[in-house]
Amino acid sequence: MFLSIIVFILIFSLVVLVHEWGHFYLAKRAGVRVEEFGVGMPPRIWSVKKGSTTYSINWIPFGGFVRIYGEGADERSGKQALVNQSPGTRLLIFGGGILMNILLGWVMLMIGFWFSMPPMVTPVERYAPDSQVQAKVVVLQVTDKSPAQEAQLQSGDYILSVNDTPATTPAAFKQLIAAQANKKVKLQVERDGTQLTLTVVPTLTKDGPVIGAWIDRSVQKVHYVWWQVPWLALQELWQIIWLIIMAVAGLIYRLFTTASLPSELAGPVGIAHITADMMKLGWMRMWQFVIFLSLNLGILNLVPFPGLDGGRLLFVWLEIVRGGKKISQQIESVVHTIGFALLIILILAVTYKDILNWI
């Protein structure tokens, strides 16, 4: 479990630092003074100052932060202050973290596809013909008192062949047992890396011969046309983002309508537990998890809630709608402070729920 915690900290820090680097880079490009770029959270271990920016490493090894001059209510003077920049510049700087998380997701999808990673949400046939797909039939669930249970077939088993004929899809498996009702059928099965031979007798039902097991297709590798990968990754990126947007909208709706925490909402402890599960499934699942985590962080920050990037973007849009008339910097700072406090309370509540579920 200790290794899982270390991996979780590294992954979470990566996606957060990429996010903060987006703010940092666009602020620098716009001529806005960045006072500090920190790895981890204070108190400070080490720092060095280059130009007007302090680069620091901090004791709490969790994420990172950027301090930009003129972001708070007390710093308003000079052309290098964020508050004195045009609305368009501030939109870019506040949205820089979101853009970087999305860019990281796209780059990681491309790398994953080049290393034969299956799509995360899209049917693989959309991106590659069957001849380029390496897949196995996986057993999801075995029905009680069924032929599959009598044959000692287990959840998680891979069915490789039926009577020595390869079965790479659920449809192929069903076709191979279609004429085998009440007959002994030899299944070549892979379980935990070891191949076994099991004998099952399918029973005849109104839907044809069945063995009493839920099966699915588990894609192991996909061979894409290499020059199509950037476009395929972009398509998959949009599908994942849309899925996250719908999930976030549903979570927010349930949170405000039921005043309860949705069971699927996870905090740091929950994400650490998920990291441990992903580690057991291999590097490819971990790679997909990092992609999903990065895109989640980006989309969550689009929510127009005080304390998030979306809340800051909302104030800029309100300024634009008001014809360039700014809302008081003091009022905005108070709103963001309250919003940040509410976010901390929410994180603590979710963490408490995660701990109860874990123990």
Where does the chain show beta strands of DSSP type E?
34-50, 53-68, 133-142, 158-162, 165-166, 185-191, 194-200, 203-205, 208-210, 213-222
Average pLDDT over residues 128-144: 81
Contacts of 175 (CB under 8 A, 6+ apart): none
pLDDT at residue 86, rounded to an integer: 92
Average pLDDT, the chain: 87
pTM: 0.80
Name residue 147's amino acid. P
Determine the pLDDT at residue 263. Answer: 63
Q: Are 46 and 56 in contact (CB under 8 A)?
A: yes
Highest mean pLDDT among 122-136, 167-181, 218-232, 290-304: 290-304
List 47's β-bridge partners, or say none.
56
Give me the domains of the chain, ranges plus CATH numbers: 2-122+229-358 (no CATH), 129-222 (2.30.42.10)
Residue 294's nearest CA partner among 6, 13, 9 is: 13
The DSSP 8-state label assigned to residue 325 in this structure reads P
Percent of the chain with pLDDT over 90: 43
* Angle separating helix axes 2-29 and 283-300, nearest 10 degrees: 50
Other Cβ atoms within 10 Å of 127 Cβ, number: 22
The answer to whether 176 and 162 are in contact (CB under 8 A) is yes
The predicted-structure confidence for 23-35, as pLDDT tens digits, reads as follows 999 999 999 999 9
pLDDT by residue (tens digit) across 92-117? 999 999 999 999 999 999 999 999 89
pLDDT at 188 over 70: yes
- The letter for the amino acid at 308 is L
Q: Are 140 and 216 in contact (CB under 8 A)?
A: yes
Q: How far is CA 281 from CA 115, 133, 258, 276, 293, in A?
A: 16, 19, 35, 9, 17
At 261 the pLDDT is 66
Distance CA 179, CA 183 (A): 9
- For every residue of 13-24, DSSP letters joined together read HHHHHHHHHHHH
